[in-house]
């Protein structure tokens, strides 16, 4: 029988705002609550956005070093810093959540086991605008793949991609649901979407679809900020939607906007695992999502707990949104099934899956 890995290092670039950082914080807090020894080892010292349990140890390099060395010379320093901390800490398992090549390289020759988990789509091109840099990135991972002792894939699609490149144990574990704040507010006739205003989130498709929705009094709320926001605002104006589309920007309390809404839409063209979708389903909201790679098709059963629409199909997206807006009984039926996400993705269930897998990998080392 495998036992939990008692000492875990979670390694990632930083602990600022973001889905990867939140995964690190919530998982670390959960594991220390069960008595495990957990450290979060970061490569850059930046403000910590998520609250950490007092027993979680945060290991950071001095901020002054990067300022002194500059961007290029800082990389060798990071490798040495990581290796020094791993040798000193002697964790049973290292869980790498970002810049994985740096973690793998810095742990060469050390007895600790390394588990990796990519948090973006398996088909994502890491450096789309620099073929040489992207080729170097892929080459480094191919050279270092023997250092990988285990992989956590968020979806079956990601697991299939990993199986073509790695021979180590691979476990499919979806993201866990964060704690959703409950707000006792009246729901409005509005559709909400949450995500950064970037190309991958595809909010322009949602605005175009909303322009086709014939549902008087309904509004669209876009929660998030980013480089594409100005263009999205211009598109809304061009379509005559300036009074019906509200750009809320970045919000600390996203749950309030979910609680005030009746429908959630996800129009991402690519995902790793859409946290925003399971958060909306657990609120619960009736959800419509593009069937992008990867994640939505493993979360939504079309017509039961939500709707799936092919990426870029604005007309079908508009029809689904309109049907949900005009039919309260349909909306309530979808919401009721969607609410099961609370149990499916609860931290107790998913966190235990992480813990068991870490234990299996650590036990293999001891054997």
List domains and CATH numbers for the chain.
7-176+347-366 (3.40.50.2000), 190-344 (3.40.50.2000)
Q: Kindly report the CA angle at 168 between 166 and 170, in degrees rounded to 5?
A: 90
263-285 pLDDT per residue, tens = 999 999 999 899 999 999 999 99
Cβ neighbours of residue 175 closer than 8 Å, sequence gap 6 or more: 19, 23, 154, 273, 275, 278, 345, 350
Residues 119, 129: contact at Cβ < 8 Å?
Answer: no
Residues 41, 10: contact at Cβ < 8 Å?
Answer: yes
46-78 pLDDT per residue, tens = 999 999 999 999 999 998 998 889 888 899 999
% of the chain exceeding 70 in pLDDT: 93
328-355 pLDDT per residue, tens = 999 999 999 999 999 999 999 999 999 9
- pLDDT surpasses 50 at 361: yes
Mean of the per-residue pLDDT values of the chain: 92
The stretches of 145-238 forming alpha helices (DSSP H) are: 156-163, 203-212, 229-238
3-state secondary structure of 309: strand
Question: d(Cα 42, Cα 30) in Å, to the nearest integer?
Answer: 19
The torsion angles phi and psi of 335, rounded to 5 degrees, stand at -60, -45
The torsion angles phi and psi of 37, rounded to 5 degrees, stand at -95, 110
Quick one: pLDDT at residue 137? 66
Residue 345: closest CA among 275, 286, 284, 285: 275
Quick one: pLDDT at residue 39? 98
Residues 287, 281: contact at Cβ < 8 Å?
Answer: yes
């Amino acid at each position: 029988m495998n036992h939990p890995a008692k000492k875990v290092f979670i390694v990632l670039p930083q602990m600022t705002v973001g889905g990867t950082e939140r995964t690190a914080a919530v998982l670390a807090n959960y594991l220390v609550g069960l008595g495990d020894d957990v450290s979060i080892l970061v490569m850059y010292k930046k403000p910590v956005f998520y609250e950490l349990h007092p027993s979680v140890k945060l290991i950071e390099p001095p901020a002054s070093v990067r300022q002194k060395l500059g961007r290029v010379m800082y990389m060798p320093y990071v490798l040495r810093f990581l290796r020094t901390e791993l040798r000193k800490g002697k964790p049973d398992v290292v869980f790498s959540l970002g810049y994985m090549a740096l973690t793998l390289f810095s742990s060469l020759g050390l007895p600790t086991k390394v588990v990796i988990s990519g948090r973006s789509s398996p088909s994502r091109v890491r450096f789309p605008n620099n073929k040489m840099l992207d080729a170097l990135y892929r080459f480094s991972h191919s050279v270092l793949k023997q250092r990988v002792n285990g992989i956590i894939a968020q979806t079956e699609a990601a697991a299939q991609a990993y199986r073509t490149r790695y021979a180590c144990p691979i476990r499919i574990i979806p993201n866990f649901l964060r704690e959703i704040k409950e707000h006792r507010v009246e729901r409005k006739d509005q559709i909400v979407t949450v995500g950064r205003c970037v190309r991958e989130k595809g909010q322009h498709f949602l605005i175009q679809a909303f322009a086709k929705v014939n549902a008087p009094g309904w509004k669209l709320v876009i929660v998030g900020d980013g480089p594409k926001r100005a263009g999205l605002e211009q598109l809304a104006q061009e379509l005559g939607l300036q009074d019906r589309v509200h750009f809320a920007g970045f919000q600390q309390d996203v749950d309030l906007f979910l609680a005030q809404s009746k429908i959630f839409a996800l129009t991402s063209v690519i995902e790793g695992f859409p946290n925003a979708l399971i958060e909306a389903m657990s609120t619960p909201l009736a959800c419509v999502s593009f069937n992008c790679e990867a994640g939505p098709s493993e979360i939504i059963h079309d017509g039961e707990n939500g709707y799936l629409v092919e990426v870029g199909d604005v007309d079908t997206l508009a029809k689904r949104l309109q049907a949900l807006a005009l039919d309260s009984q349909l909306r309530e039926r979808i919401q009721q099934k969607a609410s099961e996400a609370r149990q499916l993705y609860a931290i107790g269930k998913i966190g235990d899956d992480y813990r068991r897998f870490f234990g299996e990998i650590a036990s293999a080392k001891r054997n």
